[in-house]
Amino acid sequence: MKYLVIGGTGRTGRYAVTELRGLGHEVLVGTRRPRDDQSVAVDLAAPLDARLLTGIDGVIVTVEPPLDDKGADTVMHSGVARLAELAAAQHIPVVLISQIYITRAAEHPDLAGIIHARAAGEQALRTSGAPYTIIRPSWLTNSPATGAHLEQGDRGDGQVSRELVARAAVAALLHPESHSKTFELYDGPTPPDWPAAFTALTAD
């Protein structure tokens, strides 16, 4: 299978690329500055090449938004919506890395613009018709992945390892039990049985 990781040069994205390649899959790294034939130009702030997803079996989006409200909306809302439209047309699954506090922007006024943009991007993906999973990591750390704790309802706070987020994204890409589901992700005590954990979630 061949997967596209948009943000595959980033700290979380790199783990996802390594894990997918370790499982024997072909991976294209989506980046604004492609360097080799294993990377492809993708800028979610700009129009996307209509052929971007040709031959691609699934996409992970793990992109850091600009800090200003307009820039965040351009990337995390309009850009994600454009990608979702392309994916829907070809029925390609998309795993979107979002964040906690999506429904509680008032508690983080400093991040409100980013949160509103992400919320709109999440919704654009849900309504696009593309198969999707939305992962809302808590605050990211560079600690090694241990166990995982999944929640729904966006009520919690805590931390999660970037490596674990990448593992969850790869598992979501490979297991359709995750489709049409949105969940928060925290470090937890037990290594997850991902298909069982996804099956236990409520669909959107």
Ligand X SMILES: NC(=O)c1ccc[n+]([C@@H]2O[C@H](COP(=O)([O-])OP(=O)(O)OC[C@H]3O[C@@H](n4cnc5c(N)ncnc54)[C@H](OP(=O)(O)O)[C@@H]3O)[C@@H](O)[C@H]2O)c1
Binding positions for ligand X, rule: CB under 6 A? 6-7, 9-13, 31-33, 42-45, 62-64, 75, 97, 99, 137, 139-140, 162
Smallest separation (angstroms) from ligand X to the CB of 133: 14
183 closest CA partner among 138, 128, 121: 138
The residues, any chain, with a CB within 8 Å of residue 79's CB and separated by 6 or more, are 43, 44, 45, 63, 121
Six token digits for residue 115: 């949160």
Of the pair 85, 195, the CB lying nearest ligand X is at: 85
Torsion of CA 117, 120, 186, 195, to 10 degrees: -150
Instruction: Report in angstroms how near the CB of residue 196 gets to ligand X at its nearest.
Output: 24
Shortest Cβ distance from residue 74 to ligand X (Å)? Answer: 8
- CA dist., res. 150 & res. 145, Å (int): 14
CB of 78: closest distance to ligand X in angstroms? Answer: 11
- Choose between 32 and 116: whose C-beta lies nearer to ligand X: 32
Query: Backbone phi, then psi, for 51, in 5-degree steps?
Result: -90, 5
CB 89, min distance to ligand X, A:
20
Of 45 and 120, the one with the shorter C-beta distance to ligand X is 45
Q: Which two tokens stand for residue 70?
A: 């307009």
Nearer to ligand X, 40 or 195 (CB): 40
Measured distance CA(172)–CA(95) in Å, rounded: 7
CB closer to ligand X, 24 vs 142: 142
d(CA 118, CA 143) in angstroms, rounded, equals: 25
Residue 170: closest CA among 51, 35, 38, 24:
24
Q: How far is the CB of 9 from ligand X (least distance, A)?
A: 4
**Three-state secondary-structure class, residue 180:** coil
The first and second tokens of residue 171, run together, are: 């598992």
CB closer to ligand X out of 137 and 192: 137
In the complex, which residue's CB is closest to ligand X? 10
